[in-house]
């Protein structure tokens, strides 16, 4: 599937830094977003049709992943160790991390981590 919007999410305990890029890599929106569903929804709302996101598999990633999955066409979970190997940087900031994730998503180079299905947990 072809996506219009590529959203990189650098997830933290109280906030996330998010960046939205178009197909050419132009930043359409970026910023720090409190980790509450209403704020995440407000941030991504203009990009839900044709939008997908990526978040690294870090602590407590499930909540943000589930929120984004409700709002967007697709959410990918990235393996943080493999992302680091691809995008090694001497300077690391939330803004840089979310930009790298968005670019890797845009060019379909996310090293995916496994997302267990809810049905697997029902038994």
CB 40 within 8 A of CB 52: no
Sign (positive or negative) of CA dihedral 49, 106, 30, 94: positive
Predicted confidence at residue 27, as pLDDT, reads: 97
Range of the domain at 95: 5-113
Predicted confidence at residue 26, as pLDDT, reads: 97
**Any domain includes 109:** yes
**Any domain includes 40:** yes
CB 65 within 8 A of CB 77: yes
**Any domain includes 123:** no
Predicted confidence at residue 35, as pLDDT, reads: 96
**Any domain includes 119:** no
Any alpha helices (H) in the chain, and if so which ranges? Answer: 37-44, 61-71, 80-86, 94-106
Number of folded domains that form the chain? 1
Q: Please tell me the pTM assigned to this model.
A: 0.85
**Any domain includes 84:** yes
Give 111-123 pLDDT, tens digit per residue. Answer: 888 887 765 445 5
Give 48-96 pLDDT, tens digit per residue. Answer: 999 999 999 988 899 999 999 999 999 999 988 888 766 676 667 778 8
Predicted confidence at residue 89, as pLDDT, reads: 66
**Any domain includes 44:** yes
């Amino acid at each position: 599937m072809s996506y219009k919007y590529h959203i990189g999410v650098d997830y933290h305990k109280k906030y996330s830094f998010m960046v939205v890029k178009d197909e050419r890599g132009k930043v359409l929106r970026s910023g720090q977003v409190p980790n509450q569903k209403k704020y995440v929804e407000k941030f991504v709302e203009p990009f839900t049709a044709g939008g997908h996101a990526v978040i690294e598999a870090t602590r407590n990633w499930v909540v943000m992943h589930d929120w984004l999955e409700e709002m967007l066409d697709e959410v990918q979970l990235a393996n943080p160790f493999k992302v680091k190997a691809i995008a090694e940087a001497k300077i690391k900031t939330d803004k840089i991390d979310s930009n790298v994730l968005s670019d890797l998503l845009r060019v379909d180079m996310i090293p995916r981590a496994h997302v267990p299905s809810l049905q697997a947990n029902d038994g």
